[in-house]
Structure 1
Amino acid sequence: MAAASASSPPPTPKSPKLQPPSVERTRGPSGLEKIVLREARGFSAEVYLYGGQVTSWKNDHGDELLFVSSKAISKSIGAISGGIPICFPQFGTHGNLEKHGFARNRLWLIDDNPPPLPVNTSIKTFADLILKLSEEDLKIWPHRFEFRLRVALGPKGDLILTSRIRNTNTDGRPFSFTFAYHTYFSVSDISEVRIEGLETLDYFDNLKGKERFTEQGDAIVFESEVDKIYLDAPPKIAIIDHEKKRTFVLRKDGLPDAVVWNPWDKKSKTMQDLCDEDYKHMLCVEPAAIEKPITLKPGEEWKGRMELSAVPSSYYSGQLDPDKVLQG
């Protein structure tokens, strides 16, 4: 009688194929120059030299995590609606400066000789940009500065933006500015999204004449237009997309405030760079310094950092423990 054959061991799961990290300079569909960052496991990001603006952040499955309006990509010049516009030297509309400042409407340069950042050996994929002041900009904002931006991908796909702004005035004058990373997250449906980490905070409501209120809900959910500036926000905020079972974790440093914005249906129809239904699939949560402007004396430098990660979240029971997200 033949001996029974031993059962075959289960196949060993294949590990993801690693590729060498890369940084490529190329052009987008509109002809504007951009830099494409690719990490070893397949994560990627794109940043345009125009505006120093990140317009794509994809996970290792190729899913786009940032929202960009289809109308924004088709034009060759002008602020790009979506991704992560940089608001500097002002957030909002004040004085003779254009809305949200001029940084998002200027051509940035590759920074070939950036001052060193703290060593992080795990980050191997990054691009350094610099915004240089023009004589035209001096006429509308009479201060000399250096603005350096590093866009980096971590080994787990985290997207990290680090801004460093230095006062280079030679006449001894300080200057003040406000700032925001105007981050557009891609979501399944705005009605299926909640934000945790901003509850009980004071905020300015831009839809009610910037009147000050205190947030009352357990979490922020969306049923109509929202435009609020939350004050003294914590260093970690969670954006939970129930339908995709995905949580964005936003970590920030040097940026005390947080803006939450969605234009909803009526305002979307009045905005030239948004399609009518775009509001359903986007949500802006923006680390910012707005209530108390940053003031720099000549030679002083400010640093503002944002780190984004996208993690799976189980939302089967109707509850998600925010501590597991916000304290991770």
Structure 2
Amino acid sequence: MHSVEERERQRLRDRDKEKPFVELCKGVNGIDRVILREVRGCSAQVYLHGGQVTSWKNEYGEELLFVSSKAVFKPPKAIRGGIPICFPQFGSQGSLEQHGFARNRLWSIDPDPPPFPINNPNKAFVDLILKHSEEDMKIWPHRYEFRLRITLGPGGDLMLTSRIRNTNTDGKSFAFTFAYHTYLAVSDISEVRVEGLETLDYLDNMKDKERFTEQGDAITFESEVDKVYLSTPTKIAILDHERKRTFVLRKDGLPDAVVWNPWDKKAKAMPDFGDDEYKHMLCVEAACVEKPIILKPGEEWRGRQEISAVPSSYCSGQLDPQKVLYCD
């Protein structure tokens, strides 16, 4: 005898089976967005403004990413939450705006995407592209093609694959830093722990990027945190004890990992962030920050992040190393 709740979940799954895997439609303020769906009922939402994932839901319709209730969906303002793309720089330096300009630009559906391998099971995906503009070249004088594939796997995993190519015609190389600025939704930040980064060196952005070594057996949160962990493993676990859920982040081509929570004072200082919302989010980001990536003309860099949500019986030491990464 099925419970009422189980029957309702099955009804929702049956309803979603009739919907397309990929749907282009309008979002907040008429901004174009793409909705990805899988037959089990999981979904993701991608805004072309910023090439940004703003929603990732499991088969029960539970939201796994954090987007602020005060987020501004009005270009060129970046959307506060989801997974902003930080390119061509992470952080703030020089003439470029904070975290670069990719998260503020309008991306296009890629007319000539890289092919999938034969027999790939993924059907819910979208290929986006961003290219240099004359306006951008005034502040970052380089030609590039940035291809981004966002995939929702059959099991609900969310995968982002970036390919950045130097298309300069003047023979010049360029350097960049990068991050998938992932805002995870958590029940209570004080009940969250991050495993996989213990004993590693990190740069503390709150102490002028001074270098330290992580001392704890896991990272827990009692105050503002803004750290760049260096030479990190390909898998990191984020345990949400209250929700009995673990996020497993797997990455390739991105040696660093950023961990950030603004806590109360900084939260109140951000106009597009609720005063108490820091309690319900944590940024853990696959990144390349310490050593910039350098591309010669014609060269291409590839970086990938995959996130899955699993029951909290998992921890970083139990993850199957054979399943760390599988390529698009």
Asked if these proteins are the same fold (TM beyond 0.5), I'd say: yes
Counterpart of 1:324? Answer: 318
CA displacement at 1:122 relative to structure 2: 1.4
Unmatched 5+ stretches in structure 2: 324-328
Counterpart of 2:234? Answer: 235
Counterpart of 1:50? Answer: 49
Q: Residues 74 and 161 of structure 1: is their aligned pair in 2 closer, same or farther, counting only changes over 3 Å?
A: closer
Counterpart of 1:89? Answer: 88
Counterpart of 1:181? Answer: 180
1:28–1:34 contact (8 Å) kept in structure 2:
yes
Coordinate RMSD, CA, aligned: 1.7
Q: Residues 117 and 296 of structure 1: is their aligned pair in 2 closer, same or farther, counting only changes over 3 Å?
A: farther
Counterpart of 1:60? Answer: 59
Structure 2 CA distance, aligned partners of 1:119 and 1:187? 37
Structure 2 CA distance, aligned partners of 1:288 and 1:271? 23
CA displacement at 1:325 relative to structure 2: 3.4
Structure (1 or 2) with the greater helix fraction? 2
Aligned length: 313
**Aligned residue type for 1:92:** G
Could you tell which deviates more after superposition, 30-39 or 250-259? 30-39
**Aligned residue type for 1:55:** T
1:180-203 Cα shifts (integer Å, max 9, x gaps): 000000000000100000000000
Counterpart of 1:289? Answer: 288
**Aligned residue type for 1:19:** K
Counterpart of 2:326? Answer: none
CA displacement at 1:132 relative to structure 2: 1.7
Structure 2 CA distance, aligned partners of 1:235 and 1:118? 22
1:69-125 Cα shifts (integer Å, max 9, x gaps): 011155454100000000000000111000000000000001121122444611111
1:148–1:165 contact (8 Å) kept in structure 2:
yes
CA displacement at 1:321 relative to structure 2: 4.9
CA displacement at 1:146 relative to structure 2: 0.3
1:238–1:326 contact (8 Å) kept in structure 2:
no
1:31–1:76 contact (8 Å) kept in structure 2:
no
1:249–1:326 contact (8 Å) kept in structure 2:
no
Structure 1 segment 248-259 matched on structure 2, within 5 A: 248-259=247-258
Counterpart of 1:137? Answer: 136
Q: Residues 53 and 240 of structure 1: is their aligned pair in 2 closer, same or farther, counting only changes over 3 Å?
A: same
Structure 2 CA distance, aligned partners of 1:211 and 1:119? 47
1:129–1:148 contact (8 Å) kept in structure 2:
yes
- SS of residue paired to 2:17: coil
Structure 2 CA distance, aligned partners of 1:245 and 1:88? 34
2:82–2:184 contact (8 Å) kept in structure 1:
yes
**Aligned residue type for 2:214:** E
Q: Residues 120 and 161 of structure 1: is their aligned pair in 2 closer, same or farther, counting only changes over 3 Å?
A: farther
- SS of residue paired to 1:34: strand
1:131-153 Cα shifts (integer Å, max 9, x gaps): 02110101110110000000001
Structure 1 segment 189-208 matched on structure 2, within 5 A: 189-208=188-207
Structure 2 CA distance, aligned partners of 1:230 and 1:145? 28
Counterpart of 1:317? Answer: none
**Aligned residue type for 2:234:** P
Structure 2 CA distance, aligned partners of 1:264 and 1:322? 25
Counterpart of 1:78? Answer: 77
Structure 2 CA distance, aligned partners of 1:217 and 1:125? 39
1:89–1:102 contact (8 Å) kept in structure 2:
yes
Counterpart of 1:19? Answer: 17
1:51–1:104 contact (8 Å) kept in structure 2:
yes
CA displacement at 1:28 relative to structure 2: 1.2
Corresponding position: 1:166 with 2:165:
yes
Counterpart of 1:3? Answer: none
Counterpart of 1:4? Answer: none
Counterpart of 2:115? Answer: 116
Which 4+ runs in 1 deviate beyond 3 A? Answer: 13-18, 73-77, 117-120, 325-328
Structure 2 CA distance, aligned partners of 1:114 and 1:52? 15
Counterpart of 1:277? Answer: 276
1:262-309 Cα shifts (integer Å, max 9, x gaps): 000011000111010010000000000011100011110000000000
2:83–2:180 contact (8 Å) kept in structure 1:
yes
